[in-house]
Homo-oligomer: A and B are copies of this chain.
Amino acid sequence: LMAAVPAAQASDVKIYGILDVGLRHAPNLSVSEDAITKVDDGMRSRIGFRGTEDLAPGLKAFFRLEHSLRMDTGAQRDSVFWDDKAWVGLDSQQFGQVMLGRLRSPTDEYTNGTRFEAFMGHTLGASGGRAASSTDAWNNGVYYISPAWNGLMVGAGFSAGEGTVKSSSGAHVEYTNGPLDVALAWQRDGESLSNQKSTVTLAGTYKLPVALLLATYARSTDVGTADSGERSTYTVGARVPTGSGEVRVSYRLTEDDQIKAVADRSSDVDVRHLGVGYHHPLSKRTSINATVSYDNRKTYTAAGATATDRSGPGFEVGLRVAF
């Protein structure tokens, strides 16, 4: 047999992941209202490697590499392999945490996070795009997060510009107090050497005895190559425990305004999304998720008249395995 690696070494690295595949019957409204049946990922399936090391009392080093894949084809999801996460960092109880590498952006990590969406951002029912048009991950990133102080944490960081991309910067504040959990984030993304966009996001949950209520708001400005556009996204949701499972409801409204150019709405897309679903855990790690959705998608002429206005329901049932 293979020589036993000492236990202490073997446990340095934790392999983790979530794989989710389901049957989906839903239209692609950007093309038509005709529903298509397919086997598809209910979420971003992923596998990753992470570890932490105790350096001294109250001081840790940590690292993380995460890869996303498409379970329906086996293909890597993004143009780069470790697109989702690739970082190292130090975590001091006293001074806070600093991390470097390919990072999630502040709006994505702290307000667009899974804890602020009823479906945790997964399944056809989930309300995606909660951070308006902000960039979801940063290359060349450095981010600092303060220690918690009476439930309050702050963070700030940047993404160094490189080649044809300008630097980005951002910050966030989180506050937790009893049933309330709120987060505010801001970032300015360098899209190219001449072009930037800014986004403010606000998200919160409130725990009632019978349900968890969730809401997010995001607004991006200076969107598009002419910096003319704005995108606003609002979501509300609820998670209602029922027996061993949970009923989940999520609603999203996204509104674009003059993305292409001033007084030109031909690139604008407005979306309304309603998702209702049932999360049925088979264990702490494995679940079956059934969701129904109803979406409306509108596009516009340059002058602002409705160009297309498509609506339709969707259904999905999927199996999710976490490890």
Contact = CB atoms under 8 A, between A and B. Distances in A.
Contacts of A80: 73-76
B102 A72 contact: yes
B53 A2 contact: yes
Interface in A159-218: 159-160, 162
Nearest to A79: B75
Contacts of A12: 1-2, 5, 15, 323
Nearest to A158: B39
A24 to B, nearest CB: 9
Nearest to A71: B101
A145 to B, nearest CB: 15
Interface string A137-160: 001111000000000000000011
A154 to B, nearest CB: 21
Contacts of A19: 63, 65, 86, 88, 101
Given A2-B51, A286-B55, A88 B20 contact: yes
Given A3-B53, A40-B140, A53-B283, A88 B71 contact: yes
A84 interface: yes
A117 to B, nearest CB: 22
Nearest to A24: B160
A276 interface: no
Give the number of times this chain occurs in the complex, counting copies.
Answer: 3
A15 B17 CA distance: 13
B88 A319 contact: yes
A39 B74 contact: no
A265 B83 CA distance: 42
A82 interface: yes
A7 B5 CA distance: 10
Nearest to A40: B140
A2 B52 contact: yes
Contacts of A37: 160
A9 B65 CA distance: 18
Interface string A279-297: 0001111100000000000
Contact of A75 (B21, B81, B323): B81
A90 B317 CA distance: 14
Nearest to A83: B74
A303 interface: no
5 contacts: A15-B49, A53-B285, A71-B88, A71-B102, A74-B101
Interface of A: 1-5, 7-15, 17, 19-23, 36-40, 45, 47, 49, 51-56, 59-63, 65, 69-76, 80-90, 100-102, 139-142, 159-160, 162, 282-286, 318-321, 323
